């Protein structure tokens, strides 16, 4: 750790309002790559609730040039300053403080604060990057109005953008020019943004429900100008949806999105000037897959929705992050469900939640959706805060219905517009608007871990009564983790339905949402003629692990008949999981593996079922991920899981080879590329089917993939075929990889795919390939997308990363150390791959611990990585 950085722990319970408020901010930027000068004038007003005459402004790596109060330069004894703190004593109740600092964008590799990306200037301020630009009260409860003046070279910075409206511009005569921006809305400093450089604009417009015209501008590097239309249409759809569903209109005359190549996250909701990872903006059928298109639409929507849930109403402190993120993820999930298929969207989201969040919630980084403490806030942009947070919001929605939820949202905005508030404020608005009480929901905000829901059923033939007995509890977590002491039962809305055991028909009068608020309760269903089959936790109505004793036949029945698409899919996953775990045990014991007969039969039935769409079929026949299977084992055995899953796939493919070949052929016979929903669904199924076929490891099936690769007229089919070949022993594998590289090495986002398909391959020798690729001329640690494509993808490739000799751990350890000094945020994401070490055998534990200790002993370790590693080692 560098000596200027402090390893201070920040606690939620320590929140105090600021001693001063800031009403107005005037920023002036004189842009220069090495020596940018930032002049800041802030109008401050003493907070009468917190009387103090001392103002402490935080900074980070700043060079202070001058400071004055009310126009009078301060003498050295009237303030104390370091590169990260400026303390002003004896201030009057109101005054104007002016500071001048120098910063160096070109050497800023952390991508936080003001930095350069592809030669352009760009800022990132959430969570605490604004302090790397100027001394400030860098906390979200300080909301001010901003005016921003930018001066830069006309040649390198023809375009200079900031939040709000452009109110003036002038030529400065010396090859430089100046523009002035004003944002009429108050905002916290984390929503400030500046972008300057050589950019082109793709323009559109939107007319709001009340008839105001909004200019929509998508700013990209010149070569990408023809890849913006999908982003623009996504933005227009999002604006319309938020008006239709929540009555929320946009509130400025212009909405700008800028795409940049170097970005630590997905995108950022800066007021009126979103900055996006170019991955979530740029699309053409030749370079972006169907999944990319969908993600772009979802991320554009997410950032747009933040304008109300995040910007108009923001967080009081960073512990409240899920207030804006959980709510906004919930909103973008609902949006995507409305644009596509609610069932498929729900399945995709829950699969992601289980793979990522459930694992996080059972390891050393487990934390409540509203954490209690942090060293680096950047470490708490987690799937728990985002994804689990969204599930908590969904439960209010499930209990209140759309209308009740809308009433709660309306009241939330009526009470808190323009304010910085807490999760408690949100919960209270939801309750008050519906005359109900959500006090027990507080537990969801303060407890960590994934609850288990145990369900047993009892049938009383003579009474015609089914009883479902439910009990909830938390599994024990290793270590003394925050939010795991004295945990109490949480409110669980449990959507339940009954099916007739013979016909499979829905007994619709029994559809219900049950509420389990205590540790256990019985729920009764009366008046039944014969014993039904229960479908429990429909639509995944609560973020729990369902533990219900069900026979394989019952699961197969639900897989064939459940009218709830989520549970229909989940029954298949549960069935496959049980069989796979048994096979993994057989593999570990050196026994022959069972044939997956029951699943294989159900598999064939799904493929010919006309009542479901192709996207659902694709999901239903996709086996649970290796990492999800691992979570179900006492000690994760990555090799046995891999062997079992490969055998399972090959066996199913072998049993249905002709059907699969014919199906692939008919799906491949679709005409030229089209991006309507049905074509997208058909491509999705086609590519899952192709993976089954190629698992057979025959020249004929390899050739199907090779043909698809070379004949594809779109990136979806091409990338899928490449990924399948890269994971196979096909003799066409190398040629396809070379061809793809030759064609696309000039397009960074497509080159990322080339790295990613190889990093996700699990063929023998995959690990040394990843090591070799890290030395490839196209690899660089300065671009987060490239790092994630190779090392991020590899670190979740269970059987390869956890190779028993520890070479995978060593590779990751090397890169964590290499990256951490320049980009702490990126390094701390990577190092999190070691968080699961306690779940493996002692040999692997040792080897992972060796890397963790090696990283911990690095003398200049950044605080982001320090925090993750210390938690893991505790
Ligand atoms: N607030 C951004 C979002 O969720 C994420 C983000 C966090 C981006 C921190 C950059 C830095 O939309
Ligand atoms: Zn967000």
User: pLDDT tens-digit profile of 290-311?
Assistant: 999 999 999 999 999 999 999 9
* Closest CA to ligand 1's atom 8: 268
Q: Is 183 in the pocket of ligand 1 (CB under 6 A)?
A: no
- At a CB cut-off of 8 Å and minimum separation 6, what does 743 contact? none
pLDDT at residue number 1: 44
Q: How confident is the model over 822-851, as a mean pLDDT?
A: 98
Kindly report, residue by residue over 663-678, the tens digit of the pLDDT.
999 999 999 999 999 9
CA distance 697 to 136: 62
Query: Is the ipTM here above 0.90?
Result: yes
Q: Pocket of ligand 1, candidates 115, 189, 266: which has the most ligand atoms within 8 Å of its Cβ, to mutate?
A: 266
Q: What is the pLDDT of residue 477?
A: 81
Which of the ligands is closest to the CA of residue 267? 1
Q: Which two tokens stand for residue 184?
A: 């009429």
Q: Are 312 and 372 a contacting pair, CB within 8 Å?
A: no
Is residue 395 within 8 A of residue 386, CB to CB? The reply is: no
How far, in Å, is the centroid of ligand 1 from the Cα of 331? 16
Q: Output the residue whose Cα is nearest ligand 1's atom 1.
A: 268
Q: Which residues are catalytic?
A: 303
Q: How far is the CA of 782 from the centre of ligand 2 (A)?
A: 24
747 lines ligand 1 (CB under 6 A): no
Mutate to test the pocket of ligand 1, among 268, 275, 331 (most ligand atoms within 8 A of CB): 268
Atom 9 (ligand 1) nearest CA: 126
pLDDT digits (tens, 9 = 90+) for 526-537: 999 999 999 999
What confidence score (pLDDT) does residue 5 get? 53
User: Measured from the CB, is residue 265 less than 6 Å from ligand 1?
Assistant: yes
Q: Which atom of ligand 1 is nearest to the CA of 303?
A: 12
CA-nearest residue for atom 12, ligand 1, is 268
Looking only at the bridges linking them, the beta strands covering 314-315 and 273-277 are unpaired
Ligand 1 closest atom vs CA 112: 11
Average pLDDT, the chain: 97
- E strands, 462-508, are 465-473, 492-499
- Distance CA(480)–CA(604), nearest Å, equals 48
Strand, helix or coil at 553?
helix
Nearest CA to ligand 1 atom 7: 126
* Gap from CA of 12 to ligand 2 centroid (Å): 21
Residue 813: both structure tokens together = 């350890």
Task: Please report which helix (H) or strand (E) contains residue 86, including its range.
Answer: strand 85-88
- Residue 695 beta carbon below 6 angstroms from any ligand 1 atom: no
Shortest-distance Cα residue to atom 3 of ligand 1: 268
Q: Which long-range contacts (CB under 8 A, 24 or more apart) does 129-132 make?
A: 129/190, 130/189, 130/190, 130/192, 131/58, 131/59, 131/60, 131/62, 131/84, 132/59, 132/60, 132/61, 132/62, 132/103, 132/108
Q: What is the mean pLDDT of residues 132-140?
A: 98
What pLDDT score does 50 carry? Answer: 85
User: 328: cis peptide before it, omega within 30°?
Assistant: no
Q: 90-129 burial by CB neighbour count: b if 16+ within 10 A, else e?
A: ebeeebebbbbbebbbeebbbbbbbbbbeebbbbbbbbbb
Task: Report yes or no: 444 and 493 within 8 Å, Cβ to Cβ.
Answer: no
Cβ of residue 221 lying under 6 Å from some atom of ligand 1: no
Measured distance CA(838)–CA(363) in Å, rounded? 8
Distance 377 CA to ligand 2 centre (A): 15
Residue 302 Cβ < 6 Å to ligand 1: yes
Mutate to test the pocket of ligand 1, among 113, 124, 126 (most ligand atoms within 8 A of CB): 126
Residue with tokens 């987060």: 784
Task: Output the pLDDT for position 479.
Answer: 75
Residue 181, CB half-sphere, CA atoms under 13 Å: how many? Answer: 27
Sign of CA dihedral 218, 222, 223, 226: positive
Strand segments (E) across 89-232: 94-103, 113-117, 120-124, 143-153, 159-162, 165-171, 176-188, 194-197, 200-207, 213-220
| pLDDT tens column, 722-753 | 999 999 999 999 999 999 999 999 999 999 99
Å from CA of 855 to ligand 2 middle: 30
Q: Which residue has the tokens 């402190």?
A: 317
269 close to ligand 1 (CB < 6 Angstrom): yes
CA–CA separation, 11 vs 373, rounded Å? 4
| Residue 297 vs residues 78, 300, 535: alpha-carbon distances, Å | 52, 5, 33
3-class DSSP state of 599 = helix
Residue 849 class from Cβ within 10 Å (0-12 exposed, 13-18 middle, 19+ buried)?
A: middle
* Per-residue pLDDT tens over the stretch 412-432: 999 999 999 999 999 999 999
**Ligand 1 lined by 766 (C-beta under 6 Å):** no
With a 6 Å cutoff on the Cβ, whether 298 touches ligand 1 is no
The answer, yes or no, to whether any atom of ligand 1 lies below 6 A from the CB of 381, is yes
Mean pLDDT of 191-212: 99
Beta carbons of 531 and 439 less than 8 angstroms apart = no
pLDDT grade, residue 483 (50/70/90)?
confident
Query: pLDDT at residue 193 above 60?
Result: yes
74 DSSP assignment: P
Q: Which atom of ligand 1 is nearest to the CA of 127?
A: 9
Number of the ligand closest to the Cα of 331: 2
Cβ atoms within 10 Å, residue 12: 18
Nearest CA to ligand 1 atom 11: 126
Model-level pTM greater than 0.95?
A: yes
Beta strands 545-548 and 120-124, pairing class: unpaired
Please work out whether the CB of residue 126 comes within 6 Å of at least one atom of ligand 1: yes
pLDDT digits (tens, 9 = 90+) for 497-518: 999 999 999 999 999 999 999 9
The ligand that comes nearest to the alpha carbon of residue 329 is 2
Cβ neighbours, 10 Å, residue 463: 12
Q: Name the band, by pLDDT with cuts 50, 70 and 90, for residue 839.
A: very high
SS3 80: strand
Determine whether the shortest distance from the Cβ of 325 to ligand 1 is under 6 A: yes
Query: Which ligand is located closest to the Cα atom of residue 265?
Result: 1
* Of 260, 296, 381, best ligand 1 pocket probe by most atoms within 8 Å of the beta carbon: 381
Task: Specify the pLDDT at position 316.
Answer: 98
Nearest residue (by CA) to ligand 1, atom 2, is 268
**Structure confidence at residue 793 (pLDDT):** 98
Q: Is 110 in the pocket of ligand 1 (CB under 6 A)?
A: no
Q: How does pLDDT run across 356-401, given as a tens digit for each residue?
A: 999 999 999 999 999 999 999 999 999 999 999 999 999 999 999 9
Mean pLDDT of the region 849-874: 97
Distance 325 CA to ligand 2 centre (A): 5
119 Cα to the center of ligand 2, angstroms: 27
Rounded Cα distance, 868 and 521, in Å: 39
| Whole-number pLDDT of residue 77 | 84
Which of 188, 263, 265 should be mutated for ligand 1, with most atoms under 8 A from CB?
Answer: 265
- Ligand 1, atom nearest to 299 Cα: 12
**Residue minimizing CA distance to atom 5 of ligand 1:** 268
Gap from CA of 268 to ligand 1 centroid (Å): 5
Helix axes 342-352, 565-588, angle to 10 degrees: 30
What average pLDDT does this structure show over 698-717? 98
Q: How far is CA 654 from CA 581, 620, 695, 719, in A?
A: 21, 18, 9, 24
Quickly count: other Cβ atoms within 10 Å of residue 143's Cβ: 18
For the CA of 269, the closest atom of ligand 1 is: 12
Q: What is the whole-number distance in angstroms between the Cα of residue 300 and the centre of ligand 1? A: 12
387 lines ligand 1 (CB under 6 A): no
Kindly give the distance from the C-alpha atom of residue 266 to the centroid of ligand 1, in angstroms, as a whole number. 7
CA of 381 to the centre of ligand 1 (A): 8
Residue 378 alpha carbon, nearest atom of ligand 1: 9
User: In the prediction, which pLDDT does 571 show?
Assistant: 98
Scanning 197-265, the segments in alpha helix (DSSP H) are 229-246
**Closest by alpha carbon to 577, among 351, 836, 845, 837?**
351
User: For residue 2, what pLDDT is reported?
Assistant: 45
CA of 329 to the centre of ligand 2 (A): 7
Confidence label for 6 from pLDDT (cuts 50, 70 and 90): low
Please tell me if the CB atom of residue 378 comes closer than 6 angstroms to any atom of ligand 1: no
**Whole-angstrom distance, CA of residue 130 vs CA of residue 270:** 12
241 C-alpha to center of ligand 2: Å? 17
What secondary structure does DSSP assign to 397-440, as a single string? Answer: HHHHHHHHHHHHHHHHHHHHTT-EE-HHHHHHHHHHHTT---GG
């Amino acid at each position: 750790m560098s000596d200027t950085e402090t390893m201070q722990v920040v606690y939620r319970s320590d929140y105090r309002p600021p001693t001063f408020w800031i009403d107005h901010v005037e920023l002036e930027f004189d842009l220069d790559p090495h020596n940018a000068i930032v002049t800041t004038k802030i109008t401050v007003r003493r907070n009468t609730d917190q009387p103090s005459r001392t103002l402490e402004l935080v900074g980070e790596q700043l060079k202070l040039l001058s400071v004055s109060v009310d126009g009078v330069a301060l003498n050295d004894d009237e303030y104390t300053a370091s590169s990260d703190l400026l303390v002003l004593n004896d201030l009057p109740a109101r005054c104007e403080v002016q500071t001048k600092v120098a910063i160096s964008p070109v050497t800023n590799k952390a991508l936080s604060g003001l930095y350069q990306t592809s030669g352009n200037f760009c800022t990132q301020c959430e969570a605490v990057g604004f302090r790397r630009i100027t001394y400030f009260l860098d906390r979200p409860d300080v909301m001010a109005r901003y005016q921003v003046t930018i001066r830069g070279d006309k040649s390198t910075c023809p375009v200079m953008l900031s939040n709000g409206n452009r109110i003036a511009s002038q030529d400065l005569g010396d090859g430089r020019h100046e523009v002035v921006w004003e944002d009429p809305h108050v905002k916290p400093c984390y929503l400030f943004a500046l972008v300057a450089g050589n950019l082109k604009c793709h323009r559109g417009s939107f007319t709001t429900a009340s008839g105001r015209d909004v200019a929509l501008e998508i700013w990209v590097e010149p070569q990408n100008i023809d890849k913006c239309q999908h982003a623009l249409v996504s933005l227009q759809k999002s604006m319309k949806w938020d008006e239709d569903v929540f009555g929320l209109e946009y509130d400025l005359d212009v909405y700008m999105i800028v795409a940049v190549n170097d970005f630590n996250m997905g995108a950022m909701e800066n007021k009126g000037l979103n900055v996006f990872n170019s991955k979530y903006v740029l699309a053409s059928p030749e370079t972006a897959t169907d999944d990319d298109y969908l993600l772009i639409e979802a991320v554009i929507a997410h950032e747009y929705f933040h304008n109300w849930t995040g910007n108009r109403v923001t967080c009081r402190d960073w512990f409240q992050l899920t207030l804006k993120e959980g709510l906004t993820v919930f909103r973008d999930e609902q949006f995507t469900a409305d644009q596509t298929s609610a069932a498929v969207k729900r399945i995709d989201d829950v699969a992601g939640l289980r793979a990522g969040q459930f694992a996080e919630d059972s390891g050393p980084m487990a934390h409540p959706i509203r954490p209690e403490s942090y060293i680096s806030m950047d470490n708490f942009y987690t799937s728990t805060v985002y994804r689990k947070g969204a599930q908590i919001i969904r439960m209010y929605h499930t209990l209140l219905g759309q209308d009740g939820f809308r009433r709660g949202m309306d009241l939330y905005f009526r009470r808190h517009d323009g304010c910085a508030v807490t999760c408690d404020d949100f919960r209270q608005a939801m309750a008050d608007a519906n005359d109900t009480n959500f006090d027990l929901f507080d537990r969801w905000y303060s407890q960590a871990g994934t609850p288990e829901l145990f369900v047993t059923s009892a049938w009383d033939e003579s009474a015609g009564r089914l009883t479902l007995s439910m009990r909830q509890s938390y599994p024990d977590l290793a270590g003394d983790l925050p939010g795991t002491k004295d945990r109490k039962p949480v409110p669980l809305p449990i959507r339940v339905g009954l099916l007739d055991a013979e016909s499979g028909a829905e007994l619709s009068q029994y559809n219900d949402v049950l509420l389990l608020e205590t540790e256990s309760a019985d729920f009764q269903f009366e008046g039944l003629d014969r014993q039904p089959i229960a479908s429990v936790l429909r639509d995944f109505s609560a973020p729990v692990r369902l533990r219900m004793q069900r026979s394989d036949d019952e699961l197969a029945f639900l897989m064939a008949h459940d009218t709830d698409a989520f549970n229909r899919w989940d029954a298949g996953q549960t069935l496959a999981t049980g069989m796979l775990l048994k096979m993994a045990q057989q593999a570990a014991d050196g026994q022959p593996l069972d044939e997956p007969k029951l699943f294989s039969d159900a598999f064939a039935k799904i493929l010919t079922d006309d009542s479901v769409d192709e996207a659902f079929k694709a999901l239903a026949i996709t086996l649970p991920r290796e990492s999800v299977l691992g979570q179900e084992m006492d000690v994760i055995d990555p090799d046995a899981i891999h062997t079992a899953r490969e055998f399972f796939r090959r066996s199913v493919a072998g049993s249905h080879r002709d059907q699969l070949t014919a199906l692939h052929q008919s799906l491949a016979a679709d005409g030229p590329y089209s991006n309507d929903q049905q074509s997208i669904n058909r491509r999705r199924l086609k590519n899952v089917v192709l993976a089954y076929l190629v698992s057979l490891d025959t020249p004929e099936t390899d050739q199907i993939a090779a043909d698809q690769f070379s004949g594809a007229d779109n990136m979806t089919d091409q990338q899928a075929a490449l990924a399948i070949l890269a994971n196979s022993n096909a003799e066409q594998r190398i040629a396809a990889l070379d061809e793809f590289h030759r064609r696309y090495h000039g397009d960074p986002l497509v080159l990322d795919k080339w790295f990613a398909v190889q990093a996700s391959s699990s063929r023998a020798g995959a690990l040394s390939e990843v090591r070799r690729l890290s030395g490839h001329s196209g690899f660089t640690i300065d671009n987060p997308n490239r790092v994630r494509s190779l090392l991020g993808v590899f670190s979740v490739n269970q059987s390869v990363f956890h190779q028993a000799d520890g070479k995978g751990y060593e590779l990751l350890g090397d890169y964590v150390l290499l990256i951490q000094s320049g980009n702490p945020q990126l390094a701390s994401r990577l190092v999190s791959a070691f968080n699961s070490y306690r779940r493996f055998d002692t040999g692997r534990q040792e080897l992972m611990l060796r890397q963790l200790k090696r990283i911990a002993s690095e003398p200049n370790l950044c605080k982001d990585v320090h925090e993750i590693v210390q938690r893991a080692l505790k």
